[in-house]
Copies of this chain bind each other. A is one copy, B any other.
Amino acid sequence: MDLQIILEEIYKEVQPFISHGKVADYIPKLAAVPLEKFGMAIQTLDGDLFTIGDAVENFSIQSISKAYTLTLALQFIGEDRLWKRVGREPSGNPFNSLVQLEYENGIPRNPFINAGALVLVDIILSNSKNPSQTLLDYVRQRSDNPGIDFDAEVAASEKKTGFRNSALANFLKSFGNLENNVDSVLDAYFHQCSLSMNCIDLAKSFMMLANHGLSPWSGKQVLTESQAKRINSLMLTCGTYDAVGDFAYRVGLPGKSGVGGGIAAFVPGKLSVCVWSPGLNSYGNSLAGTLALELLTTKTGMSIF
């Protein structure tokens, strides 16, 4: 099985679908990304890297960052305390809904909906002197790339239009599920979403989860094997907004998507992969990206099922 050939096949097969997606347009810099961009990178545990298309072009990783903050929050306060403040069930509702939060008294359904991610940020703020630097350091180590940084323009735009996230944060605060002040939490959250990375960075960063908690680049056991498996399960059941069933059905891998058009996924024990195509489907996941991952698991037979 030659993964480079498979990437080339996928690249061809997704082309007709790239124009079917719709680029996120709620902030100018996302809206300006050309719809036809497509990149993909595969990093194997054996140490091989395969890429195609725009795999070295940076994009806004947006919600993919929630996988990083989940790991950090888990390291800071441990499972017992973490799961008192956020649930781990799929939401069954659009990703930024306030409804479920109200019915469940301010406990977000899972760490990957926006409300849950705000709680993660709050945990990091309570446990780190310089939260933004802590996150940057973490991501740079996981990706083996010290050049990764926030995109200040994107962060500023997020803040300017982020009324819904501000509503969520105030709502969480009203339920007593934020320790820090609302503005600090939002500021850190908008920065986290603005992380600018490319497919290779992302594929490399998720090797830690594909490799049972051991980061190949730093040689550090970031999570225990059991913790890594549990985070992986959460990515499968909650990582792709309101399309987790569909994603598991078609792709069959744990993964995390973002409205910038990126999706990171991995086959535990084998490889991690990142695909980027900015056109989104109706669920907010990359349309051609989801298709590319479906083709990858079909062609390689590498589903976890």
Contact = CB atoms under 8 A, between A and B. Distances in A.
A170 interface: yes
15 contacts: A89-B92, A89-B242, A90-B237, A90-B244, A98-B102, A99-B102, A164-B174, A166-B182, A167-B167, A229-B303, A230-B305, A233-B303, A238-B245, A268-B304, A304-B304
Interface string A67-105: 000000000000000000001111111000111101100
A298 interface: yes
A255 interface: no
Interface of A: 87-93, 97-100, 102-103, 109-110, 163-164, 166-171, 173-174, 182, 225-226, 228-230, 232-234, 236-238, 242-246, 248-250, 252, 254, 268, 298, 301, 303-305
Contact of A92 (B91, B166, B234): B91
A153 B234 CA distance: 41
**What 10 A-B pairs are tightest by C-beta distance, nearest first?**
A92-B92, A163-B174, A232-B305, A167-B170, A89-B245, A167-B171, A233-B248, A90-B90, A166-B170, A164-B174
A163 B170 contact: yes
A92 B100 contact: yes
A212 to B, nearest CB: 9
How often does this chain occur in the complex, in copies?
4
Contacts of A102: 97-99
Contacts of A109: 92
A298 B224 CA distance: 13
